[in-house]
Structure 1
Amino acid sequence: MQEGMVPSFAIVHWTPSPYALRWGKRLCIVACFAAIFWICTFKIMDRDFWWHVTAGDIMLHTHQSIQVDPFAHTRAGEPYLATHEWLAQIILSLLFTTFGATGIILLRGMIASICMGLLLLLNRRRVFPNILLAVWAVVITKGSFLERPQLFTFVFFALFLLLSFTFLDAQSLRTKLRISIVFVLAELLWVNMHGAAALLGCATVSFLLLQECWYWLRWRSEENKQTVFLLCGVLALMAAVLVSPPNGFGTLRYLQSLMNDQTILYIAEWRPREWPLYFRELWPFWLLALASLWYARQHRLFSLLLLLTAAYLSRQAFRHEILFIFVALALCFYHASRSERMDPLREWMEKRRRTVISAVLLAVLLLGRAAYARSMDFERQDNLYGFGQFDLARGAYDFIERENITGNMFNTYGIGGYLIYRGYPDRKVFIDGRNVDYGMELMTRTYAAGINPAVWKELSERYDISYALVDYDAIREKDRLPYCAVLERDPLWSLVYLDDWVAVYLKKTTDNQPTIDRLRYKHLRATAIQFDTNFSTVAETDLPAFIAELERMREGNEEGVKATLALARLAIGQHRNADAQDLAEAALRVRPFSPEPYAILGAAYVSEGQPDWASEAYVKLLKYAGNNYPDINYGFIAKIFEDAGHTWRAWYYRRRAKESPPLQPKERETSTAPEQNDRQEKVESPPPPASPPNLANPAQDALEFNEQGIAQAGQGKFAEAEESFRTAIKLNPGYAEAWNNLCALHLTRQRTEDAIEACKRAIHESAEYADAHFNLALAYYLRGSLQEAEEEASVSKKLGRVQESNDLLMLIRRK
């Protein structure tokens, strides 16, 4: 080598071979479909699944459709309306009877995979990385893939999207004819599995017809003309198929009832989400859909009509958001493969394979982490991990069977389906998930009974109720338990069973009295186990009996942890740290991913002066708490981390403590939650004054009379409450709150005109009083003055009553 010369080395650039790329893609596709199955692998949890299975079982054994309602004593002798899902109910019943919960869970995963597979076929050359978008779609819509007939609608809708784009690309009339035959056959199955949801298929084919009409008008070709006539024939056959089920026109009549139904006010999935929540979840799919339309070179009219329809449906009900996601994916997959504008991007990706592979691997890691986090949040609360079934009313039903409780049952809306499954034909339910069947009047009275003792008394006497099952954990409000708050103050009712989810109350009758004497909870209440974390309301003399009742609740509640955690908190308060740790560990054996036991362990270790162990407990608390866990004292946790020598964690959570709002003591709510009330502004129920007030200060006395009226209204003493409110108004004629409470009282008593006058006076005294505007809107709505109702509801919404006003506006506009 000559002096001054520098040796050169050959630099080898690694480039994956086509063989490696091909098999790598295949492995990634298999892994993604496995991920979709895993995402959908959680216990059976849908409340309506149980009555669907029971209905299917009845039809299998009787070999005919159900004509008269067999499930509810409140609908005895009335027609059974939910006949539109008969085929899906039979399939679910057969699967559950043959394979149990495992078969249903596997069906759920299979349907999710089939739906995504059908959409991915729109771009067969780019299944990977498109499948990453499909996985994310399943992550977002996980709560929609529940075990009910709607599952089959997802499959058929995805199939229709695939067939529609294939039809548009077809070159021969013979191919289009074959696709048309599949359209009609699929529609026939669809309408028998999920009733009027099959109208989505008709709408999709209608959009196809409009697109082909546009092509015919534009090109005037004979082939386009024949295609238009073919699609007209297909639509005619599909329209005939809509009345082919055993119930004939019943499917369309049920759809009409559903469109005019007002009970959706009480059903969260039938209402749209607030815009911020909606866009937080769906903005990526909106971006994909709009970008696909922008780059689209073909079939723009069909694509636009599809997108507008799906977007409209997604803003009508939360349960329809998944349909919009399907359309967004279909548009993205189809147009990305056929747009010339995407060619530069594809060429760039071909030249930079290593960069693309690295980006894809990073995307896979981020997607996996997000999927895991969301799945944990979804499944943690009720321990839904893995296979099996979450039947929250099982313990309560076992109790009433074991104790041979008889008579007419009251049950809350959510557990009616399971009680049908367990009790048919011997025990009839009060209500279940068939909201359209029960109608607005019964639904309203049922929800009003949860907060109004007078309505509860009227309802229980009308239907001769002798025992009540309340799923208090599911219907809890901020600091109140509907039904439980009423029954706990009613001397005619006694709590005899309590677990983590359901409370059972017995009426004091001759048949029930022996069970009440033996099993009545004298100190423990559902409200205490739900809200009173320190049990400060329990007297010291009652504490031993209270602990004994907690032990009894724990013994009969093997899958629950509330009683165990309550005992642990009491042990912490009594400085029995070892007992508290043992109880927390016992709770973790039942709920290994629950944050509450780690909070108790951390508190016990702090009390013992062991910051290292406390910091480990708090690390797991923060890991499993998720985003919605209430009242975490980050400042305190930062101090523990600092004492344990975890400097970085201490700094991070000290910063979180500064960013978080300070913890405030809980205040009483001044209105009912939108899903549990009867759409009327209710008033609070504080205890009445111990002695009558003297009239030394008219303004203060007006306040006391107003509070007295509130208490009387809560006890159902409406005449006395009206007198108290009017006395408050006489003492202070400008007292807007008293006028509003008088308005609410008139609404409760269905005196609409009096309510309107009282609300107008409240608004006259306080023009920006949101509650008065809302009550006035409700009064106008009940009177039928829809324009005035809409105006007042809009004002109420601007002043802060957003959710309730939106619900009322939706009802007004439906009329």
Structure 2
Amino acid sequence: MTVSEGGRDWLQYLVIILFSVLLVLFSMTRYADYDLWWHLKLGESVFETGKPFFTDTFSYTFAGKSQYCGEWIADLLIFLSYHTGGIAGVNLLKALVLSGTFFFLYRTMRDAEPDSRAGFAAAIITLVTVLFAIRFRLFVRPYLFSLLFTALFLFILGRSRHAGNQKLLFLLPIFQVFWANMSVGAVFGPVIFFLFAVDRAVRDRSGIRTNVLVLVGLLAATMVNPETWRIWTLTLDLSSDPYKALVGEYQPMSPEILWGFGLKYTLAFQILAFVSALYFVAMRGWRNIYLLLLYLLFLVESVLQIRMVEFFALVAAPAFATVVRTALVAVVTRIPGAEKWANVFVAGAIVLVVPLSVLGNTTYVLGADVKEDAFPEEALQFLDREQVTGTMFNSYSLGGYIIWRAPERKVFFDGRYRRLYNPAFYGSYTDIVESAAAWKAAEERYGFDYAVVEYDMLSKRFPLHLNDNPQWALVYWDNHSAVYLKRTPARERLIAAGEYRVAKPNFYDFKYLDRFRGPAATDALAQINREIALNPANQEPVLARVFLLYSMGPLYHEMALRDLEAIRLLKPDLAMEHSARAFLLMARGREGEAREAVKHALSLDPLDPGALELGNKLGMKLKLPRGIHH
């Protein structure tokens, strides 16, 4: 750098400001996280009662049973942030927690590499890499506070080691008490310190007594929460759960997640893992037993379950920064004048990152509200408008939002799995969704008479059997959710006016329409026109009409083509819209337009069967994903 040891030039302050802006922008996103809402409701309960929540009052399936309340302070803070500023307040809380996390992480790296010549630039580059690595996990839940405490522990342990001040270690049990009341991730506090103590025992046996006292203090502090020992058993329950493969964040790393569709989420994690490994392998970093054990432990945990990536990113940062610093030193000592441009390069890189990764990003949408079509708000408005009451069945993913938005509608299931609900119940829930017989048995047991279910094209955990159940009627349907009512005399009028009798939520598989031939097709067309009018923004019924019109013969193809032209304005933009349009264009002799439609379809889904079929017929050169053969 351009200043003397320990000093800072104005460019360093500029870089810090730019990184802070980037961090805030990464925090200011529109929300699509289901679990936020039940944490808000639990926080509201703490706010109103002044004490932790020990029993469930939001479901009817587990009402009155004990629920985990060890994260009550975090839930309270999350609620207060929302109560004060809505989603913007929640985003601000995220930004504040992350700011503290990255401050302690920065200080940890600077303590380890104090010279200002390259250490500063290396630290900032590391922080940016870590920020990208954890970006896809930045939900506002209690575990977010575990990032802050993990960074704080790393800082205190590093400062104690470099300054030779063992008294600092006695601060850890104090912070552990707060951590244990904010996140189940507090179990990592004693683990991190134990690895530190192992390293110290190998290096200097004189600190064993202090280490034992601090470790005992940490273990005791972990129990100072309303759940005491259950903080440990919940951790074991979550990591060994028989259904964790069904929950995205508990899934192990896979080739698809690392190098397929998930590459955009895990690339920074992979860079951290590889570069940090160079420190241990090529720079003899294995002698730092503390960092090596942290690296190995959290790398293995990250491979076993994706949700551990953020912890790995934090503990890998010091090793990563050392490698980057070494590389920078090699560059600035070999290239005349390169030293003074290091901060300029880092500042410019951060400025470039903003338009490339923040502005216009469709995955992490900048804003301070909820994502469109992310929650069942319209479905709940329909229930309120039509005054539908009774006992509700709901999808697991929707329960948290319903708890917050409509607490009078007691839920069947929600995201408090393992904190309230047990594996046996989760297993019965999956059976209910997949099996008509299990649905009937649950209906008799629990007495539910209406259902609010998620219609998710990715997970496809949807009770398709309801489409063939004569006792239930589909009365509301949008791109995100559907409402079914059990047929009762009191609901005859509502069902008669709003039932979907032809179009069905079937994940865009329209084979069920094959039964409509001849006069039946004409009658079905009249019905489907009425159903489209119920919710014109729902594109699947429109595509169902296209399928029906196509099957009715060439006289109806122009009508189908007009539907496809209109549907291009609706969301989401699906490959099958364009491949269906391509078939119709070919039937009308418009080959050039058909080719363009095939290209568009394949750009959205390289494996769209309709586009592949027609593309082959047209002799087009099709580029399939690597390893896929058609």
Q: TM-score, normalised by structure 1?
A: 0.65
**Matches of 2:85 and 2:549 in 1, distance apart?**
44
**Matches of 1:638 and 1:130 in 2, distance apart?**
52
Other structure's SS at 2:152 match: helix
User: Paired residue for 1:414, among 397, 415, 426?
Assistant: 397
The answer for the alignment partner of 2:472 in structure 1 is: 493
User: Paired residue for 1:166, among 126, 135, 159?
Assistant: 159
User: Paired residue for 2:294, among 295, 300, 306?
Assistant: 306
How far did 1:136 drift?
A: 3.7
**Matches of 2:606 and 2:159 in 1, distance apart?**
44
The answer for the alignment partner of 2:61 in structure 1 is: 74
**Matches of 1:327 and 1:23 in 2, distance apart?**
29
Could you report, residue by residue, the CA deviation over 1:83-114 in whole angstroms, capped at 9, with x for unpaired residues?
Answer: 12111111111111111112212333443444
1:554-565 to 2 correspondences below 5 Å: 554=536, 561-563=539-541
Letter in 1 for 2:402: L
The answer for the alignment partner of 1:83 in structure 2 is: 69
Q: TM-score, normalised by structure 2?
A: 0.82
2:519 maps to 1:530: no
| Shift in CA distance, 297/446, structure 1 to aligned 2, threshold 3 Å | closer
Paired residues of 2:14 and 2:347 also in contact (CA < 8 A): no
User: Paired residue for 2:481, among 499, 502, 506?
Assistant: 502
User: Paired residue for 2:203, among 212, 215, 224?
Assistant: 215
Gap runs ≥5 in structure 2: 111-115, 551-555
Larger radius of gyration: 1
Paired residues of 2:190 and 2:219 also in contact (CA < 8 A): yes
The answer for the alignment partner of 1:428 in structure 2 is: 410
| Shift in CA distance, 310/632, structure 1 to aligned 2, threshold 3 Å | farther
Paired residues of 1:495 and 1:505 also in contact (CA < 8 A): yes
How far did 1:277 drift?
A: 3.3
1:50-449 to 2 correspondences below 5 Å: 50-79=37-66, 81-124=67-110, 125=116, 126-171=119-164, 173=165, 176-177=166-167, 179-195=168-184, 197-217=185-205, 225=206, 227-258=207-238, 261-274=241-254, 277-278=257-258, 281=266, 282-294=269-281, 295-296=283-284, 300-334=288-322, 344-348=330-334, 352=338, 371=357, 375-376=361-362, 378=363, 384=365, 386-390=367-371, 391-424=374-407, 426-436=408-418, 437-449=420-432
1:714-725 to 2 correspondences below 5 Å: none
Could you report, residue by residue, the CA deviation over 1:693-737 in whole angstroms, capped at 9, with x for unpaired residues?
Answer: xxxxxxxxxxxxxxxxxxxxxxxxxxxxxxxxxxxxxxxxxxxxx
Letter in 2 for 1:493: W
**Matches of 1:610 and 1:373 in 2, distance apart?**
38
How far did 1:39 drift?
A: 3.6
**Matches of 2:591 and 2:352 in 1, distance apart?**
33
Paired residues of 1:580 and 1:600 also in contact (CA < 8 A): no
**Matches of 1:605 and 1:27 in 2, distance apart?**
56
How far did 1:385 drift?
A: 5.1
1:393-792 to 2 correspondences below 5 Å: 393-424=376-407, 426-436=408-418, 437-473=420-456, 476-477=459-460, 482-483=462-463, 485-527=464-506, 530-532=508-510, 538-539=516-517, 540-541=521-522, 542-554=524-536, 561-563=539-541, 574-576=557-559, 579-580=562-563, 583-584=566-567, 586-587=569-570, 625=604, 630-631=608-609, 633=611, 654=621, 656=623
| Shift in CA distance, 78/30, structure 1 to aligned 2, threshold 3 Å | same
Aligned-pair identity (%): 21
**Matches of 1:152 and 1:532 in 2, distance apart?**
47
Letter in 2 for 1:106: L
| Shift in CA distance, 148/62, structure 1 to aligned 2, threshold 3 Å | same
Paired residues of 1:101 and 1:387 also in contact (CA < 8 A): yes
Q: How many residues align?
A: 600
How far did 1:55 drift?
A: 0.8
Gap runs ≥5 in structure 1: 1-15, 218-224, 641-649, 664-815
Other structure's SS at 1:504 match: strand
How far did 1:519 drift?
A: 2.0
Could you report, residue by residue, the CA deviation over 1:657-696 in whole angstroms, capped at 9, with x for unpaired residues?
Answer: 6979566xxxxxxxxxxxxxxxxxxxxxxxxxxxxxxxxx
Q: RMSD between aligned alpha carbons?
A: 4.1
The answer for the alignment partner of 2:113 in structure 1 is: none
| Shift in CA distance, 156/375, structure 1 to aligned 2, threshold 3 Å | farther
| Shift in CA distance, 182/298, structure 1 to aligned 2, threshold 3 Å | farther
How far did 1:259 drift?
A: 5.1
| Shift in CA distance, 65/93, structure 1 to aligned 2, threshold 3 Å | same
Letter in 2 for 1:320: M
Other structure's SS at 1:522 match: coil
Paired residues of 1:211 and 1:302 also in contact (CA < 8 A): yes
How far did 1:305 drift?
A: 1.3
Paired residues of 1:122 and 1:162 also in contact (CA < 8 A): yes
How far did 1:497 drift?
A: 0.9
How far did 1:333 drift?
A: 1.9
**Matches of 1:298 and 1:517 in 2, distance apart?**
72
How far did 1:359 drift?
A: 8.2
Paired residues of 1:468 and 1:506 also in contact (CA < 8 A): yes
